[in-house]
Structure 1
């Protein structure tokens, strides 16, 4: 690993930390922090300009980190100011608002739902769009992102806490939701794909498998029963229904590989790959892990278009900076932290672990699966302990048993979702989709069996104090630092980067 691979680590960490702190701190503190960082960055840059080339490089890195961190604090502060000044904060009575749906509804008992929205107009007057949450009676059809509704509401302040700092209000619908404008065509297509996959899965598979397959393919867990969900969480398999980076890489990688096999030029591959990334994000909804994976894929495509090597650590650092600047709330999202930690673990340790296992006589294919599973668990396990006070003691064997079939179920399910949305339900597309879903049945049922075996025991998840997770993170970081220093010191040659063009070597 080259030292240059780590230059974006400091700006990325600073951007992440500044966004998280800005969501929790008063506005005056945020402004002061941004000012101090800007001054420090300028001072370091001026000092480095007069020093040697090696010191100048580090000075540039530190100055850039200060600049990015200050920009993050300013960006979050401006958003907080805009939310605090939103007219809905001062609204009285039961005003009529026009809302735009921004995500999937969360269904509650008694036919109620919580819907993430943006407030577009208040009492007929346009205003700067601000985020809010609407509680309303669920209708027969799921609202789609991009749809606009007009409704009379009762407004309350958002719940206190940093995670709600960018939300303007909690709204309760007093009357009926009246559709003002339908969703964009691409969201209509995405909604049709998701609905058709649920319908065909329900007709082709047993109940539990039918609820799981849309989650594996599109992150749609609306049909997942509670028992299966609990067992997946206890066995450390819940990331499989969260459309993590692995799902993203599997689907987009298969499409790009197919395009390459046709003999298309590199530019064509990059352009069509970009359309694949955008389409998949729209289809599965822009959650934290999907956005992270999409930004990393876009970074790799941009590097390919410029005929430059896209190394994984710089790409991950760039992805963190872009995601946190565009969506500051991600800085406090546990899923985003776990996604980045898993990717970092794969980048740092997958190849060394694989080589060590092969040297000890393990077959290449089994060593690869074991290395990917262990590398992802190295950093995610301490984080899970820190966040949830629990650890999944059977996560590694559960993932080893699940990995060989996840790709098969994901690819078959994705193909069925796209093909099944073409034409009428019982047309050729629907028939072929049903065949593909039936083929995805055995691997999907196997995943349920693994979750039931390893997630159902009461000791699959054990409670551990949160401070122990923090200690594990420190120990893991210290071990990696010692290993990296010894590796570099023991080899006079430049250390080969661990990742080039998406291949770990």
Structure 2
């Protein structure tokens, strides 16, 4: 209930003015206080239930905190120098916070943190995380790189969002990244080389995309086919990636009869290694958290603890990063993980047949439950796909864990033993062919969204 109250208040006040969001926080805080006072005066068997009043008090108190956090965020955003320059141009000093991703119109989208706006005597220091749209010279900058450039400040996509930037000049590097940026960048580059040696055709670009979210070598038409088929989520690092990787490690540890505590330690190391290989971007860290919860749900006989852990993740993210908490990506991860916690195991038991191995039933259940749970979010956010998305996801379900586990192993092994990584990458070839084939066939079926590469 507290997590739901925080999320609801965060979403509801995200587009309000700071004064209105503050007023909402005050009203909720007052309601919480009234509920507390009322509960102290309730006698046994008289009036409202004391426990219900306690729940109401806690929910309103958490909602008040979330509304106050949003009011502070919106006020800070409104006071930022970039907001005042919307529609104009300025010089900025930036910190690259994530890897670039290609966009349909050409060029790349780079997550950055603005540290200084303006130049010379007009320079003003104020941090703000935004998205930079760029072309020449911006590809391949590792996270942690500091640059200076001139930008056009674009209108925000919706009220309450920060403005976006469009680079007008090539970046001038003023600070090199630390090891946390250089190491994932080196892993990405080596996996590209390994993929080029081990694979052919579209598979060369698909493997880095599925494993590391590196879409730089995927043809625009192929990317559009995956979108039209409802499979574009496979190119983003999600909680499913961590579940597959850590799950494979747990199965291997169980096969060699490692004890329960030992398996937990090995799983933790594998999770940390996954974050180190892919890169400690916010999306990766969120995926690691939700993936760990999903794995706990699959291995637990009770849903209470994983569900409580998921609620705690939602609560913390909503309070620490309200913009992320209300974003489609995070809502999709939470919806899928909650469905996995609550109904994946019963669904797997219902669809299991004597001729169907248990792991196959589990994989089908996870695919069906996650897709059905996220479909309303996809439709509401405008990311929904055609009527063939569910069959497409079921068709590729056996291939996704194989590519994820073998591909991640190849990425981790590449910097120290490239030949071994090539063997692992080559083993992904049949699964990658199947994924590409399913996307192409489904994208061409009647009712699928049009494929418009550009």
TM over 0.5: yes
Aligned to 1:5: none
> Is 1:30 aligned with 2:27?
no
> Is 1:44 aligned with 2:35?
yes
Q: SS where residue 398 of structure 2 aligns?
A: helix
The 2-side partners of 1:455 and 1:280 are apart by: 32
1:291-370 residue pairs with structure 2 within 5 A?
291-296=285-290, 311-358=305-352, 363-365=356-358, 366-370=360-364
The 2-side partners of 1:380 and 1:214 are apart by: 25
The answer on whether the counterparts of 1:100 and 1:146 sit within 8 Å (CA) in structure 2 is: yes
> Is 1:219 aligned with 2:217?
no
Give the number of equivalent residue pairs. Answer: 437
Q: Could you tell me how far 1:384 is from its partner in structure 2?
A: 2.9
Aligned to 2:184: 190
Deviations 1:412-463 (A, max 9, x none): 11111111122xxxxxx1111111111111111122122223332123469x
Q: Which residues of structure 1 form unaligned runs of 5+?
A: 1-9, 423-428, 463-505
Q: SS where residue 397 of structure 2 aligns?
A: helix
The answer on whether the counterparts of 2:110 and 2:131 sit within 8 Å (CA) in structure 1 is: yes
Q: SS where residue 325 of structure 1 aligns?
A: helix
The 2-side partners of 1:456 and 1:42 are apart by: 59
Aligned to 1:425: none
Summarize the Cα distance change of 1:108–1:315 in structure 2 as closer, same or farther, 3 Å threshold: closer
Aligned to 1:446: 434
The answer on whether the counterparts of 2:144 and 2:181 sit within 8 Å (CA) in structure 1 is: yes
The 2-side partners of 1:229 and 1:100 are apart by: 28
Q: SS where residue 188 of structure 1 aligns?
A: helix
Summarize the Cα distance change of 1:33–1:368 in structure 2 as closer, same or farther, 3 Å threshold: same
Q: Could you tell me how far 1:20 is from its partner in structure 2?
A: 2.0
The 2-side partners of 1:372 and 1:439 are apart by: 24
The answer on whether the counterparts of 1:102 and 1:118 sit within 8 Å (CA) in structure 2 is: yes
Q: Could you tell me how far 1:302 is from its partner in structure 2?
A: 12
Aligned to 2:140: 142
Deviations 1:149-199 (A, max 9, x none): 123x2453533513xx3425635434x422111112021100111111122
1:451-462 residue pairs with structure 2 within 5 A?
451-460=439-448
Deviations 1:51-103 (A, max 9, x none): 56994444333322222222122112212222222234456996543211122
Q: Could you tell me how far 1:341 is from its partner in structure 2?
A: 2.0
Summarize the Cα distance change of 1:235–1:190 in structure 2 as closer, same or farther, 3 Å threshold: same
The answer on whether the counterparts of 1:99 and 1:150 sit within 8 Å (CA) in structure 2 is: yes
Q: Could you tell me how far 1:147 is from its partner in structure 2?
A: 0.8
Aligned to 2:379: 385
The answer on whether the counterparts of 1:11 and 1:68 sit within 8 Å (CA) in structure 2 is: yes
The 2-side partners of 1:134 and 1:367 are apart by: 43
The answer on whether the counterparts of 2:410 and 2:420 sit within 8 Å (CA) in structure 1 is: yes
Deviations 1:214-246 (A, max 9, x none): 122112222222333233233332222222221
The 1-side partners of 2:60 and 2:377 are apart by: 26
Aligned to 1:158: 155
1:165-184 residue pairs with structure 2 within 5 A?
165-167=160-162, 170=165, 172-174=167-169, 176-184=170-178
The 2-side partners of 1:147 and 1:184 are apart by: 8
Aligned to 1:115: 110
Summarize the Cα distance change of 1:178–1:391 in structure 2 as closer, same or farther, 3 Å threshold: closer
The CA RMSD over aligned residues, in Å, is 3.5
Deviations 1:354-375 (A, max 9, x none): 23334x7663534333322322
Q: SS where residue 180 of structure 1 aligns?
A: strand
So what's the TM-score if we normalise by structure 2? 0.83
Q: SS where residue 167 of structure 1 aligns?
A: coil
The 2-side partners of 1:439 and 1:298 are apart by: 26
Aligned to 2:233: 239
1:395 to 360, 376, 389: 389
Q: SS where residue 113 of structure 2 aligns?
A: strand
The 2-side partners of 1:391 and 1:107 are apart by: 20
